[in-house]
Every structure is written in structure tokens, then in C-alpha cells.
Structure 1
Amino acid sequence: MKKTFHLTHPKLTVPRRVDAIKHEVKKYLKRERNKALPENADFWDFDCRFGLDEASSEPVHLAEINKKISEVEANQQDSFYLEILAKPGFRSKNRE
């Protein structure tokens, strides 16, 4: 998913639009996690980037996306860019 989200909408309030965006992201992650894993992969990992536009986007952890969206809402920004790319993940061996 590479997308610029706009918080302004003619019929929706900003908090309702933010909830809709968070739901869309959650739905995308669930859809990607349900795809068949490649051979030898343990789980789906995600590379995420977040910023006000594509050029200024920076890598973020998947767990920080909702917090970043809330920050954009609190700062009264009009839009933001979000990129989430799925990749196969491999577990590291436990150290004893």
C-alpha cells in the first residue's frame, strides 16, 4: 500500500475520517497476513514509511502507525503519506 490519505472530506468530520483511515490500514494488514507464506518464511513482516508527503516520509515501526496518524490529526494537517510493504519474515534462533 502506497497511498496519500486526505483528512478533509465533504461529508465526514475529521475524527470520523481518521477512524476510517485506521480501519482501512488494519483491514489491509489483515488481508496481507492471510496470504500464503513463501516457502521457509515464518511470518509476514512489513516495511513502513510515514510522512506528510512521499519525499519526506521516514521509516516507522508498524506499531507506531496509529500514533502517527493521531499526531497528524492533532497538528491539523490536511493529508499524510503512508507506505506499507509486505515481505517474508524469518525468526532468529533463540540464544541460550
Structure 2
Amino acid sequence: MRKNFPLAIEGKNRDRILDAVKHDVRKYVKRERRRVLPEGADYWDFDCRFGVNKEAAQEVHLSALIGHIDTVAREGGDQVYVEILAKPGHRKARPPGAASTDADMPDDNQDNLENE
């Protein structure tokens, strides 16, 4: 999906337009995730770019895309450019012996370490 979305259309409520833009983005991602994965792929990954126009678009993470759309709308922008390209993704296993974090430890062990 490579598309310019207008945020200001005469005769339409700006908030409804913003909701429609977000709905289109979410609908596209959901549709792409339903596609059959190629052999050897674990999930669908997405390359995303966002900007006020195509020339000013920068790479962003998919989870930050809706927040960027909200920011431009809050600042009074007239349009946004969204580019989302699906690609097969491969999960990477943790290397053996990787250091665990405190969040991985049960609470009982963590209390014992603090008391010593």
C-alpha cells in the first residue's frame, strides 16, 4: 500500500476522516497477515514509511504508525503519506547461554537476592 490520505475534506468531519484513515491502515495490515506464508517464513513483517508527502517519508515501525498519523492530524496537517509493504519474516532464536533479565526470575528468587 502506497497512498496519500487527505485529512481535510470539505463537508466532512476531520475526526471521522482520521478514523477512516486509521481503519484503512489496520484493514490492510489485517488482510496482508491473512495471506498464506511462503515456505520457510514464520510471520509477515512490514516495511513502513510515513510522512506528510512521499518525498518527506521516513521509515517507521508498524506499531508507531497510528501514533504518527495522530500527531500530524493534531498539528493540523492536510494530508499524510503511508507506505506499507509486506515481506516474509523469520524469527531468530535466542543464542544459548544468553543472560536472563530480572524479569525472567521468579519473585521468590528475587526476594532472596535482595535480603542477602
Same fold (TM over 0.5): yes
Structure 1 residue runs of 5 or longer lacking an equivalent are none
Distance in 2, matches of 1:40 and 1:54, equals 33
Q: TM-score, normalised by structure 1?
A: 0.96
1:63 matched to 2:60? The reply is: no
Q: TM-score, normalised by structure 2?
A: 0.80
Q: What code does the residue aligned with 2:63 have? A: A
Quote how far apart the aligned CAs of 1:12 are: 2.0
1:17 matched to 2:17? The reply is: yes
* Residue in 2 that maps onto 1:54: 54
Distance in 1, matches of 2:52 and 2:3, equals 11
Secondary structure in 1 aligned to 2:47?
A: strand
Distance in 1, matches of 2:52 and 2:73, equals 12
* Residue in 2 that maps onto 1:34: 34
* Residue in 1 that maps onto 2:94: 94
Distance in 2, matches of 1:22 and 1:31, equals 14
Structure with larger RCO (C-alpha < 8 A, sep 6+): 1
Quote how far apart the aligned CAs of 1:11 are: 3.4
Larger Rg: 2
Distance in 1, matches of 2:17 and 2:69, equals 11
Return structure 1 stretches of 4+ with deviation > 4 angstroms: none
Distance in 2, matches of 1:53 and 1:6, equals 10
> Which structure has the highest strand share of the two?
1
Distance in 2, matches of 1:64 and 1:23, equals 15
Distance in 1, matches of 2:69 and 2:92, equals 31
The percent identity for this pair of structures is 46
Aligned residues: 96
Secondary structure in 2 aligned to 1:80?
A: strand
After superposition, the CA RMSD in angstroms is 0.8
